[in-house]
């Protein structure tokens, strides 16, 4: 996917000019970006799973949607359907 988005990479500036990365540098950079993207997606999935677990636990305790919302950080508040 990244290779389709970025078929080649160049480094430099308008002042000094741009140079295309060697194939080894290109592969290393694409791999770094891929690892970072995977890590970000995994952290998001972990946060969503934790949020769902907390909501389920609060529901088992009989808390209302408003009470649950007050207990969760604002980034984790989701309407309960």
Could you read off the pLDDT of 27-54 as tens digits, one per residue?
Answer: 999 999 999 999 999 999 998 999 899 9
Could you read off the pLDDT of 60-69 as tens digits, one per residue?
Answer: 999 998 899 8
Domain boundaries along the sequence of the chain: 2-76
pLDDT interval class at 1 (50, 70, 90): confident
Average of per-residue pLDDT values in the chain: 89
User: Which string of b and e fits 27-53 if b means at least 16 CB within 10 Å?
Assistant: eeebeeeeeeeeeeeeeeeeeeeebee
Kindly report the pTM of this predicted structure. 0.64
What pLDDT was estimated at residue 61?
96
Q: Comparing C-alpha atoms, which of 18, 17, 1 is closest to residue 9?
A: 18
Q: Specify the residue for token string 């998001």.
A: 44
Cα 72 to its chain centre, rounded Å, is: 20
């Amino acid at each position: 996917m990244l290779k389709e988005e970025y078929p080649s990479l160049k480094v430099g500036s308008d002042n000094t000019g741009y140079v295309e990365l060697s194939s080894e540098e290109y592969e290393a950079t694409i791999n770094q970006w891929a690892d970072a993207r995977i890590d970000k997606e995994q952290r998001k999935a972990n946060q969503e799973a934790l949020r769902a677990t907390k909501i389920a636990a609060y529901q088992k305790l009989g808390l209302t949607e408003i009470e649950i919302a007050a207990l969760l950080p604002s980034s984790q508040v989701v309407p309960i359907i």
